[in-house]
Amino acid sequence: MIHYRPSKIYIDPSVQNSPITQTILKTFPDISCEYTSEKPSILKKLDRYSDPLLEGKKHLWVTQNKGKLVKKCGASTSALQNLVCCNYFILDFSFNCHFECVYCFLQEYTNLPLMVVYANIEEMLKTVQDLLDRTSSSNIRIGTGEMADSLALDEITGFSQQLVPFFSIQKKAFLELKTKSDRIQNLLKLDPKGQTVVAWSINPPSYIQKYDFKTALFEERLEAAKECEKAGYKIAFHLDPLIAEPTWKKDYEELVGQLFSRFNPAWVSLGALRFNANLRSIAQKRFPNTPLTVGEFVSTPDGKKRYFRQLREELYQTVYGYITKYNRQTPTYLCMENEVVWKNSMGRVPSSEQALEKQIVSASLS
């Protein structure tokens, strides 16, 4: 895995005393730092570079999240009808990622290609606490890996040191840290008390080599997962994106075999490769000759490009079949899919998002 090192740091004075900011400054005492309450000036100059996204990531902006700090996952709020969702909440602690996954949707955010860390952690935790005090659900999953990798920067921000202890005393909520990294050193020093799940997005080793640039390799991810398991964390896997390479059946069979012979995952999610409107051409430009985009994609009603339905169903059915061969009890769900696909691939449609949430959490964490 490639470690992150910015060429310049911009700090919003309103968060200069945050423990997150302090950890960053301690990690990079030698890197030039600018205090500014404005957007970093580099944003205006990025189009002078051949890959503004790559250049932007060299600049780290430590600021406060002025938007909604905790929100429901995109699937719950999608305009797409009949999308089955798992009532997932997202804590936006960071934006962007120094890894380079060919399919990463963050590449579309060309107006803010910087690495952004939101350092108003006290406010974030207070918002989570308010949400939990108000909710009747006792199975809430809150994740940080939506607009960034949950752990890729943990060694420089120390977010986990704030989040894991906070969730360890919660009764109604679980924290999910979703990652493709192996940066678990902070986690190993903490006691999650069963309330934190560390989830790895994973694919067959050759797919990781081809499509997940700069991330931890397959074996590095699994070794990190083993260490976390030993330290008391629950482990989950996201087989997302499922990629229909010519040898996908054999590749995913081997992958599932590897995962289930070494772990008893808290849950597994499956999500077939999908693209937003412009991502396909952005990816083709940034990664010339990538074979990722050559599958049979069609436009679906939400404006995304997906494998056509029959192929998605075959992917899900087959991989789910491999999973149930090992363990019928492992909660397995589809990410961002509609009822038809659920029914045809999994043989069932969850009755509501709360029901799915309960099924995922209670089966795995009780």
Partner 1 sequence: MRFEMISISRIQLDNRLFEVSFLADLTALKISVQKKGIVQPIQVRSEGDLFQIVSGFRRLECAQALGLTQVPAFILGEDLSHLECFERAVEENFFNRKFNCVEKAGTIQKLEKEFQVSKEILIQRYFPFLGVSSSEAVYQFYKNILILDPVLQEYVVRSNLPTHVVEEFFKFNIQDQKTITPFLQSIHFSVSTLKEFLIWIYEMSLRDRASISDLLSEPLNAIVRNPAMDARQKLPILRQWLKNKRYPMLSGLETRFVLLKQKLHLPLESSEFFEDNKIHMKLSFQNKEELEQWIEKMKEASLKPEFDELLKMV
* Enclosing H/E stretch for 274: strand 274-275
Q: How far is CA 224 from the centre of its chain?
A: 16
Cα–Cα distances in angstroms (integers) from residue 109 to residues 57, 115, 251, in the given order: 12, 12, 32
Asked if 199 contacts 238 with a C-beta cutoff of 8 angstroms, the reply is yes
Q: How far is the CB of 87 from partner 1 (least distance, A)?
A: 24
Contacted entry of partner 1, ligand SF4, none for residue 299, CB cut-off 5 to 8 Å set by kind? partner 1
Window contacting ligand SF4 (CB under 6 A); options: 38-46, 51-59, 100-108, 128-136: 100-108
List 106, 151, 208, 336, residue binding ligand SF4 (CB under 6 A): 106
Q: Give the range of 95-103, 118-126, 248-256, 267-275 binding ligand SF4 by CB under 6 A.
A: 95-103
Residue 183 in the binding site for ligand SF4 (CB under 6 A): no
- What type of residue is 238? H
Contact pick of 90, 97, 266, 283 for ligand SF4 (by CB under 6 A) = 97
By CB under 6 A, tell whether 99 contacts ligand SF4.
yes
CB of 345 to partner 1, least distance (A): 12
Query: How many angstroms separate the CA atoms of 103 and 113, rounded?
Result: 16
Q: At 291, list the tokens.
A: 């074979």
The DSSP bridge partners found for residue 84 are 337
CA angle 124, 5, 165 (to 5 degrees): 30
CB atoms within 10 A of CB 133: 8
For the beta carbon of residue 290, count every other beta carbon within 10 angstroms: 14
- Nearest CB to ligand SF4, comparing residues 149 and 176: 149
Q: Read off φ and ψ for residue 77, nearest 5 degrees.
A: -110, 5
Indicate which of partner 1, ligand SF4, none lies near residue 180 (CB less than 5 to 8 Å, by partner kind).
ligand SF4
In the numeric block, the tokens 């989570």 are attached to 128
310 binds, among ligand SF4, partner 1, none (CB under 5 to 8 A by kind): partner 1
Structure tokens belonging to residue 178: 């979703």
Whose Cβ is closer to ligand SF4: residue 228's or residue 273's? 273
Q: Which of residues 114-173 bind ligand SF4 (CB under 6 A)?
A: 148-149
Please tell me the distance from the alpha carbon of residue 342 to that of residue 229, in angstroms, as a whole number.
Answer: 30
Nearer to partner 1, 298 or 355 (CB): 298
CA distance 47 to 232: 46
User: Which residue, chain included where needed, has tokens 């009949």?
Assistant: 82
Least distance between ligand SF4 and beta carbon 166 (Å) = 23
CB of 228 to partner 1, least distance (A): 37
Query: How many whole angstroms separate alpha carbon 332 and alpha carbon 134?
Result: 28
One-letter identity of residue 146: E
Q: Which does 289 bind (CB under 5 to 8 A by kind): ligand SF4, partner 1, none?
A: partner 1
Cβ-count burial of 249 within 10 angstroms (0-12 exposed, 13-18 middle, 19+ buried)? middle
The Cα-based distances of 24 to 55, 64, 130, 188, 276 in angstroms read 20, 14, 28, 20, 33
348 binds, among ligand SF4, partner 1, none (CB under 5 to 8 A by kind): none
Write out the residues near partner 1 by the rule CB under 8 A. Answer: 47-50, 52, 284, 288-291, 293-294, 296, 298-301, 308-311, 338, 340, 344
- Amino acid (one-letter) located at 46: L
**11 vs 104, beta carbon nearer ligand SF4:** 104
CB of residue 300 vs partner 1: minimum separation in angstroms? 6
Q: How far apart are CA 89 and CA 176, in angstroms?
A: 10
Choosing among ligand SF4, partner 1, none, which partner's interface includes residue 309 (Cβ < 5 to 8 Å by kind)?
partner 1
Which of ligand SF4, partner 1, none sits in contact with 104, Cβ below 5 to 8 A by type?
ligand SF4
* Tokens, residue 207: 């797919």
Q: Residues binding ligand SF4: what is the number (CB under 6 A)? A: 10
Binding mask 231-270 for ligand SF4 (x = CB under 6 A): ----------------------------------------
Q: How far is the CB of 102 from ligand SF4 (least distance, A)?
A: 9
Residues lying near ligand SF4 in the complex (CB under 6 A) are found at 97, 99-101, 104, 106, 148-149, 180, 215
